[in-house]
Amino acid sequence: MPELPEVETIKRGLKSFILHKKITKIEVLCDKSFVGTPALATVVDLRRFGKALIIDLDNGQSLMIHLRMTGQLIYDGEKRYAAGHPSDNFTAKLPNKQTRVIIQFKDGCLYFNDQRKFGFIKVIKTSEVENDSFIKKLAKEPWELNPDEFYEKLQKHKAAPIKATILDQSIICGLGNIYADEALFESKIHPETKSGKLTKKEASALLDAAKKVMDRSIASGGSTMATYVKADGTKGDYLEKFALVFRRDGKPCSRCGGKIVKIRVAGRGTHLCPNCQRRKDD
DNA sequence: CTAGGATCCTGTCAGC
DNA sequence: TGCTGACAGGATCCTA
């Protein structure tokens, strides 16, 4: 998915289009993608918990949206605002084959598209949002986590590769496959390093790097491919502009000129510069 | 308890 | 061209 910066981008953008607007109709095209009974109400707030987006309504209910791997939210009204997993859907005619839910407003439609159907929209009581099983488990985001706290957490998973550890939302919240790779590169840590082998200094550097790469992404409107269009017509282009290792295997490292490689860690494709990110002896 | 692998689902791409 | 397997910006469930 869509990692924290992308969901933050969605939240900020949607706010300007749907806040205080009434939902006039909800069409569910794929049962798996919508949990609960759709009700028509007015949007009173948009919030984000890690990678989950919450749309609060004035009937005491909230829509919890998780895009998982391939979810997208595309608002189509006077302007089009698209964010999430980048694809041609951002500019395509909608609804299409991948449209799972359509949330209609008086002057626009919010399309929830999701190729792989891992994502979902779920109706929950607003008062229960923070007790939701997913949200409840979320750890602090990098900006709220202090280095000592982070270091202590790493000791509880000392045998797991650091990449797996920082992808675990109950340890540190917000990173996904892109920003995990970028943060490890930025802090010069090999992704397979056992979490318990990191020094306090390295843990602190990694935390700083996580904040840095995500701050930069949020500032540019989230990462994306070329088809991504923001509300103002500009493109969010973290991958093109800022990614230094993600999907850059075979290309030279911007820091040392060495060759970026792709390996598999924790079941995920992982990009690194073997020269800058030295493996420690186990 | 942790760690690692399979799994949900659709689509695309590399390699035969 | 057609088939096959691998893989994908996530999280959960199962097993050891």
Q: How is chain A split into domains, by residue range? A: 4-134, 142-272
Q: Which nucleotides of B are covered by protein (CB under 7 A)?
A: 1-11
| Domain A4-134, second-level architecture | Alpha-Beta Barrel (3.20)
**A83 CB-to-strand C distance under 7 Å:** no
Q: Do domains A4-134 and A142-272 have the same CATH topology?
A: no
**Counting Cβ atoms within 10 Å, is residue A197 exposed (0-12), middle (13-18) or buried (19+)?**
middle
* Residue at minimum CA to C1' distance from nucleotide C8: A69
Contact (CB, 8 A) for A176 and A1: yes
Q: Quote the pLDDT of residue A241.
A: 75
- Burial class from Cβ neighbours inside 10 Å (0-12, 13-18, 19+) for residue A67 reads buried
- pLDDT score of A237: 62
Q: Quick one: which of A267, A270, A248 has its CA closest to A189? A: A270
Q: Is the CB of A134 under 7 A from strand C?
A: yes
pLDDT of residue A231: 40
Contacts of A56 (CB under 8 A, 6+ apart): A43, A44, A45, A46, A47, A62, A126, A129
State the amino acid at position A153 in one-letter form. K
pLDDT score recorded for residue A234 = 46
Q: Which of A255, A243, A265 is nearest to A5 (CA)?
A: A243
Single out the catalytic residue among A51, A80, A100, A230.
A51
To the query of whether residue A2 is one of the catalytic residues in this protein, the response is yes
Alpha helix stretches (DSSP H) within A138-275: 147-155, 162-167, 177-186, 200-219, 238-241
Q: Tell me, what's the pLDDT at A229?
A: 46
* pLDDT one digit per residue (tens) for chain A, 282 residues: 689 999 998 999 899 899 999 999 999 999 999 999 999 999 999 999 999 999 999 999 999 999 999 999 999 998 888 888 888 888 889 999 999 999 999 999 999 999 999 999 999 999 999 999 999 999 999 999 999 999 999 999 999 999 999 999 999 999 999 999 999 999 999 999 999 999 999 999 999 999 999 999 888 876 543 334 444 444 556 777 789 999 999 999 999 999 999 999 999 999 999 999 998 866
Q: Rounded to whole angstroms, how far apart are CA atoms A46 and A156? A: 34
Give A276's contacts (C-beta < 8 A, 6+ positions apart).
A185, A188, A253, A255, A256, A258
Distance from CA(A268) to C1'(C8), angstroms, rounded: 9
Count the neighbouring beta carbons within 10 Å of the beta carbon of residue A112.
28
Q: What was the pLDDT predicted at A179?
A: 96
The nt closest to A225 (CA vs C1′) is C9
* CB A88 within 7 Å, strand C: no
CATH match of A142-272 with 3.30.2090.10: no
- Residue A219: the pLDDT is 86
Name all protein residues with C-beta less than 7 A from any atom of nucleic acid chain B: A 32, 97-98, 115-118, 156-161, 164-165, 195, 266-267
- What's the predicted TM-score (pTM) here? 0.94
Closest nucleotide (C1' vs CA) to A156 is: B2
